[in-house]
A and B are shown apart, each in its own frame.
Chain A
Amino acid sequence: MRIKNHPILGERQEAKEIEIIFDGKKVKAFEGEMIASALVAAGVKTFRYTTRNNEPRGIFCAIGRCTDCVMEVDGVPNVRTCVTPVKSGMVINTQKGIGQWKGKTS
C-alpha cells in the first residue's frame, strides 16, 4: 500500500512509473525504488520459501544485512530485494529453496 500524503514528507515526488513482472503478473513500480518496496506496495508479504521446511519468509532488516528478503531476479537467485532497485521489465520470482540458476552455471 503506497503512502500518498504524509504529514512530514508531504506529497510523493514525481517519479516515472514502470512495470515489473512478479510471479508472472505485471506489477507497477516507480523507477529507482527497491524491489521490496514495489512488492510491499503491491501487497506482497511472502518473498521466498526456505530450503528444508518450505517456510515462508519476508523482510526483516530492510537494509541489506539479513538476506531474509532474497528472491530470484532475472534468473539469478539470492538477490537482496531490499537494496536492489527495479528496472523496467525486470522478472522477479518467489524463490523456492536455493532457487533456479537459469543460465548462470551451465
Chain B
Amino acid sequence: MERENKLKTEFAVIGGGPAGLCAAIEAAKYGVEVTIIDENLKPGGQLFKQIHRFFGSEEHLAGVRGFEIGNILISDAQKYGVKVLLNNIAWGLFEDNNIGLCDTNKVSILSCKKVLVATGAIENSIAFPGWTLPNIMGAGAAQTMINVNRVLPGRKVVTVGSGNVGLIVSYQLMQAGAQVECIIEGLPEIGGYQVHASKITRMGVPILTRHTIIKAEGEKFVQKVIISQVDDNWKIIAGTEREINCDLVCIAVGLKPLIELCRMAGMKFEYLAELGGFIPVHNENMQTTIDGAYIAGDITGVEEASTAMEEGKIAGLAVAMELGKIDEKKGESELASAKNRLRALRMGPYGEFRHQAKQNLINSYYKYKNQMGA
C-alpha cells in the first residue's frame, strides 16, 4: 500500500515569497540545510506582480522593481544551495513541526528542526448586492492579470479603496490600457501615499472620498455600479446616488494574514486591526509561541516587501543561531543590524503607526510566555 514520502530537512520554509526567500538565503549562508516549500510553479510570492520601483534605502534595493528583486532573490537562493520544492501545498503543520505536503501525485511528510511560516496574506472583500459577479475581483488579482499574465480583464474600471494598493493598481491598469473611471474611498481622506495619489489624479482619475458602493449590476458579469456619498456616520446621503458603467471593479480594502497553518500548530494570536486581523504573536527574533516555529512577512502583519525581507533575514539568523551554525557574537551583531534596518523602514507617520502595532505584538508574546510559565 503506497503511503507517504518521508522527507527531512533542517530548516523548512513554508512560502517562497520575499520573507521566505530571505530567511532561507540567510540561514543557508551559515550552512543550515534549508528547504523552501511553495505551492506555485515559481517562487517569489507577490514580488512578480510589483512592477513599480521600490522605496527605501539602497540596502533595500530602492529604485529596483519588485519583479527584479524576485529574480535576484531566486538566484541568491540557488547560489547558497537552498532546496526549493515547488508545486507543493503545505496542508498541515503538526506536532514537532512535521509538515504535511502534497503535489498532484504524492503526499509527503517533511520533518524538520525549525520551521518558518511565511504564507503571506489574502485580499479582503466587502459585501454589497452583486459583489459576487464575475469581474469584481481583488485589486491584487487585477494586478496579477496585467503584470504577470499580461492580460487585461476589463477596460472601464471602478476601484474601491484608496490605500496604496488601490492607487497603485489603478495607475498600473491605466498603464496597461484600461480607463479607470474613479477610485472611491469611504473615509474623508485618501488612504495611500500622496505620491501615488498625485500620479493617478494627474492622469485624470478622480478619487472620491466619503463615497461607498451600493450595488453592482450585470447579467453574467458586472456592467455597472451604483455609488453614493456617505456622511460622517457612514450613512448613505439620499439623492447622491450615481450610476457608473464599468466592466471591472477592483476591490482594494486591505489584506488579512493567511494563518491557517499557525492555527493548526496551536500558536497564540492577537487581534490587531491595523495589521490586518489575527496575527500570531512573536518576539523580536520572529519566534512564535510554538518551539522552533517562526513567522515572517505579511503573515505577521500586512506591510511591504522590504519589511518582509528584513523579517525573513532576522528569522533566518535566529534559526542559524539556534542551530549553532553561527558564532553567538557575530549572530547578535548581524541581528542588531537587521533590526536597525527594519526600524528604519518603519519611520515617518505611516511607519511609526506600524512600528507601534508590531511592538504590541511582541509585548503580547511575552505576556503569553509568562502565562505559559516558560
- Which A residues lie at the B interface, using CB under 8 A? 1-3, 6-9, 12, 33-34, 36-37, 40-41, 45-47, 55-66, 82-83, 85
Q: Are B132 and A57 in contact (CB under 8 A)?
A: yes
Q: How distant is A56 from chain B, measured CB to nearest CB, in Å?
A: 5
For the complex, is B145 an interface residue (Cβ under 8 Å from A)? yes
8 inter-chain pairs at a CB distance below 8 angstroms, sorted by A residue, are: A33-B149, A37-B149, A46-B221, A60-B138, A61-B122, A61-B138, A63-B46, A63-B144
Using Cβ atoms and an 8 Å threshold, which residues of chain B touch A83? 39-41
Interface pair B177/A3, CB less than 8 Å apart: yes
Q: Which of B18-64 contact A (CB under 8 A)?
A: 39-41, 46, 51
A6–B144 CA distance with the chains assembled, in angstroms: 14
* Interface class of chain A by DSSP: loop
Q: How far is the CB of B119 from chain A (nearest CB, A)?
A: 10
| Contact (Cβ within 8 A) B152 A3 | yes
Interface size bracket, B side:
35 or more
A63 surroundings in chain B (CB, below 8 A): 46, 122, 140-141, 144
Contacts A65-B258, A83-B39 known; A58 to B151 CB distance under 8 Å? no
B132→A55 contact, CB < 8 A: yes
Q: Mark B115-138, 1 if CB is under 8 A from A, else 0.
A: 000000011010000001111111
B150 sits at the interface (CB 8 A) = yes
Min CB distance, B122 to chain A, in Å? Answer: 5
Q: For the complex, what is the distance from the CA of A8 to the CA of B64, rounded to whole Å?
A: 12
Known: A8-B175, A41-B151. A60 touches B125 (CB 8 A): yes
Chain B residues closer than 8 Å to A7, beta-carbon distance: 175
Q: How far is the CB of A9 from chain B (nearest CB, A)?
A: 6
Which chain A residues lie closer than 8 Å to B146 at the CB level? 3
CB within 8 Å for A1 and B221 given contacts A46-B134, A62-B140, A62-B141:
no
Structural contact, A47 and B141, CB atoms closer than 8 A: no
Residues of A within 8 A of B141 (CB): 59-63, 82
Which 7 residue pairs are nearest across A and B when measured between Cβ atoms?
Answer: A58-B134, A62-B141, A37-B149, A45-B221, A45-B134, A62-B144, A41-B151
Contact pick for B137, options A2, A62, A65, CB 8 Å: A62
**Can you name 16 extra interface pairs (CB under 8 A) apart from A8-B175, A62-B145?**
A1-B152, A3-B146, A3-B150, A45-B153, A46-B134, A46-B220, A56-B133, A57-B132, A59-B135, A59-B137, A59-B141, A60-B136, A61-B138, A61-B140, A65-B258, A83-B41
B190 to chain A, nearest CB (A): 24
Task: Report how far A12 CA is from B147 CA in the complex, Å.
Answer: 11
What chain A residues lie within 8 Å of B176 (beta carbons)?
3, 6
Q: In the complex the two chains form, what is the Cα distance from A51 to B145 in whole Å?
A: 27
Chain A residues within 8 Å of B122, by CB: 61, 63, 65-66
Which residue of A8, A45, A47, A58 contacts B65 across the interface (Cβ within 8 Å)? A8
CB distance from A86 to the nearest CB of B (A): 11
The reply to whether A1 and B140 form a contact with Cβ atoms under 8 Å apart is no
Q: A residues within 8 A CB of B137?
A: 58-62
Q: Are A1 and B138 in contact (CB under 8 A)?
A: no
Bound together, the chains give a CA A63 to CA B133 distance in angstroms of 18
Q: Mark B324-365, 1 if CB is under 8 A from A, else 0.
A: 000000000000000000000000000000000000000000
On chain B, the residues within 8 Å of A55 by CB distance are 132
Inter-chain CA distance A7–B199, complex, in Å, is: 15
| Contact of B150 with A6 in the complex, beta carbons under 8 Å | yes
Residue of A1, A57, A59, A63 ringed by the most chain B CB atoms within 10 A: A63
Taking the closest CB of chain A, its distance from the CB of B308, in whole angstroms, is 15
* Chain A residue at smallest Cβ distance from B131: A60
Interface code B148-162, partner A: CB below 8 Å = 1, 0 otherwise?
011111010000000
Cα-based distance from A70 to B283 in the complex (angstroms): 39
Closest partner residue, chain B, to A32 (CB atom): B41
Tell me if B138 and A45 are in contact (CB < 8 A). no
A34 and B132 contacting across the interface, CB-CB below 8 Å: no
CA distance A40 to B133 in the complex (A): 15
Q: How far is the CA of A13 from the CA of B324 in the complex (A)?
A: 46
